[in-house]
Amino acid sequence: MKKGTLAFGAIALASALVISGCSAADDGNGTETPQFEEGTTMAKLAEQGSIKIGTKFDQPLFGEVGPSGTPEGFDVEIGKLIAKELGISADKIQWVETVSANRETFIQNGTTDIVIATYTINDKRKESISFAGPYYLAGQSILTTKENPAGIQSDADLVGKQVCSVDGSTPAAKLAEIGAIPVLFKTYAECIDPLKLGQVDAVSTDNVILAGFAAKDDTLQVVGTPFTDEPYGIGVGHDDDAFRSFVNDVLEKIYANGDYRAAWDATAGKVLPYVNPPAVNRYSN
C-alpha cells in the first residue's frame, strides 16, 4: 500500500512539474496540459499546442465566417471543446475551410487534423477516414422561396425539378437517386441567389443548414419534413482508433457536463430547438 501511495505521489509530482513547466499548451488561462500516451495523435497535438480544424465557412448556425474573421457556429464550438481537452486554447486553433467534396482528402493528406463540418457518417466515407460521434442527428430537407412557384412541398415534388445542392454531399447523391435534376456548387451559400432568381426550383440539404439560411432571409422557407438520416460525425484519420476514442470520450464528457448544451444554446439554439444528443457509436471495423 505504502509503495503504491509513494508511486502515485511521484506521478502526481511529475505531472505537477510538467503543468507548472509552462509547456506550449499552457496558455496561462487555466488550460491544463493533459498527459497522453506517446505516439498518439493526442500527444502530438498537445505537444505542438495547436490543431488544424476543418469546418464550413458559409453555413449559418454551424460554421460561418462573419465579421470577426473566424468561423462561428455549433461545429466551431464543438471544435473548441475538443481542443480544450487537448490543452489547446481557442486562439491556437487553425480553422481550415472544408467544403463537402474535400473533407476526406483534407483528413487523409493532413491539411486538417480533424473535420467538424455538418459531416454525415456513412460507410463509403468510413472507407477512407474514421468518425467519432454522432454528436447530432440531422435530416435532408428542402428550401424554397416563400413564393415557391413550383409548389414544392415534399421530396416527391422534387422529381424532374432543378434542385441546387453541393458536390460531394450526401443530399446531392439523394437528389440524383430520387430523380431530381441536381445543380451542384461547391458551397450551399452559392445556391441562394439561383434560388431567389428562379434559376433553380429548390435547394436541398440538411434541415439545420437550410434553417440557418431561412433565418437570415425572410423570403425563404424550409418545407416538408426531413427525408433522410444525417448523423453528424467528427472526421479523424482512418483507423486512428485512439484519437477517435478520445474524441468520443470528449463528446460523452460534454454531454454530461452541460458544455454541449451551452454550445448549442449559443449558436444553432438561437434558431433551432434543443434535442438531446445521440449516443456515440464506438464502432469497430
Binding region for ligand GLU (CB under 6 A) = 100, 117-120, 166, 169-171, 205-206, 230
Q: Please, which residues bridge with residue 235 across strands?
A: 115, 131
Nearer to ligand GLU, 46 or 166 (CB): 166
CB of 268 to ligand GLU, least distance (A): 14
The angle at the Cα of 173, spanning 71 to 272, to the nearest 5 degrees, equals 40
Nearest approach, Cβ of residue 171 and ligand GLU (Å): 5
Question: Cβ distance 202 to 164 under 8 Å?
Answer: yes
CB-nearer residue toward ligand GLU: 86 or 117: 117
For residue 140, the minimal CB distance to ligand GLU (Å) is: 8
Peptide bond between residue 134 and the one before it cis (omega within 30 degrees of 0): yes
Nearer to ligand GLU, 46 or 78 (CB): 78
Distance of closest approach, residue 61 Cβ to ligand GLU, in angstroms = 12
CB of 96 to ligand GLU, least distance (A): 15
CB-nearer residue toward ligand GLU: 33 or 169: 169
10 Å CB burial of residue 258 (0-12, 13-18, 19+) is: exposed
For ligand GLU, which is the closer residue by CB, 120 or 144?
120
Nearer to ligand GLU, 169 or 267 (CB): 169
Residues 235, 129 contacting (CB under 8 angstroms): yes
Q: Which three cell numbers stand for residue 232?
A: 453528424
Question: What's the closest the beta carbon of residue 210 comes to ligand GLU, in angstroms?
Answer: 10
